[in-house]
Amino acid sequence: MKLVIAFAVTTLLAVAGQQSAPTIVAWDALLTQPAAWYGTPEAARIADNLRLYQRATGGWPKNVAMTAALTPADRARLIAEKRGTDSTIDNGATTTEIQTLARVFAATNLAPDRDAVLAGLDYLLRAQYPNGGWPQYFPLRDDYSRHITFNDDAIARVLTMLREVADGRPPFGFVDADRRARIRNATDRGLAIILDTQIKVNGVLTVWCAQHDATTLAPALARTYELPSFSGSESVKIVRYLMSLPDPSPRVVASVDAAVLWLRAHALTGIRVERRPDPATPRGYDLVVVDDPAAPPLWARFYDLQTGRPIFVGRDGVKRDKLSDIEYERRTGYSYLGAYAATLLDREYPAWQRSRSR
């Protein structure tokens, strides 16, 4: 699950001679600020923080409030942690920092921000497997994070950004031609691994698992409740990435069409998830699946590889048929059902088809 971290951005704007009130910006909105904001002292302060959090690998750790003000002790600790091995592409880590620093550099032209961006891009190049996939962490760990990681849209996010770099799109116009060439090669290999990992059943293309074995490319186990399966969530982001490609090859078109067909066939109708108040529970509510013939379609996060039916798995790793059958902590602390593919099927895919027929 993504960690959304809020922070206060205080800018000294004179309005009738008075200081403006602080503007609250969420971490996941950091990349959507007006271009002028990236040239402000507040953006420079945050950029300085990001450079301190950057590991010697060139990457960043995840789920850290990097926008908070740092004390001298914090800064000393971060310098001491530079050799940490927790650099990752999970939960938007590394891509968010690279994109933010690139925007700040575009606004200020300060070399430390440029250098941090280039080090981050080099990290992503080193972390990529020869077959084109990326692990969740690099340096590699001896656990499931070594798998090719589509989970939480990690690889799709990396590839989307790297294509912008390879094309020299703003704010990445400063990246040198040699790096852009290597990054373009990385995106080509990234596309190849997406196509190579699409699951086939009796020779028919379907969708993807949230993670695939880095050697065999087979659907792979991650955490105990993330079994090898068809993904009704991560597959959507992969399809969106494929549809973003200019002049898609016949193989890309076939991949998209097959995944969309599978997602349509596996929509769950006649039910909805209700957040029901329950003061007796730790979170004060429960999630309950109820019948509702008028409800819009939902998709399961996981579908069984043998039966194609939705599965719900708690921390014990046991497949179950209903959300109500898994423990409360997972039932309310993880996304098992959602309208994951609704916008893709209703609007994005039809628009993509129309654009290709012109």
Q: Which residues are catalytic?
A: 91, 223
- Contact in structure between 228 and 218 (CB atoms under 8 Å): yes
Sign of CA dihedral 96, 238, 299, 357: positive
Strand pairing report for 299-300 and 337-338: antiparallel
Q: Please report which residue ranges of the chain form alpha helices under DSSP H.
A: 41-53, 72-80, 95-108, 111-127, 154-166, 177-197, 234-243, 250-265, 328-333, 342-343, 349-357
Alpha-carbon 135 to chain mean position? 13
CA angle 313, 315, 319 (to 5 degrees): 25
Distance, in Å, from the CA atom of 54 to the CA atom of 86, rounded to the nearest integer, reads 10
CA torsion angle 155 161 162 164 (round to 10): 150
- Contact in structure between 211 and 151 (CB atoms under 8 Å): yes
Burial class (CB in 10 A: 0-12, 13-18, 19+), 340: buried
Joined tokens for residue 298: 């939902």
Joined tokens for residue 250: 């016949």
Alpha-carbon 25 to chain mean position? 20
CA angle 93, 160, 47 (to 5 degrees): 40
AA identity, residue 36 = A
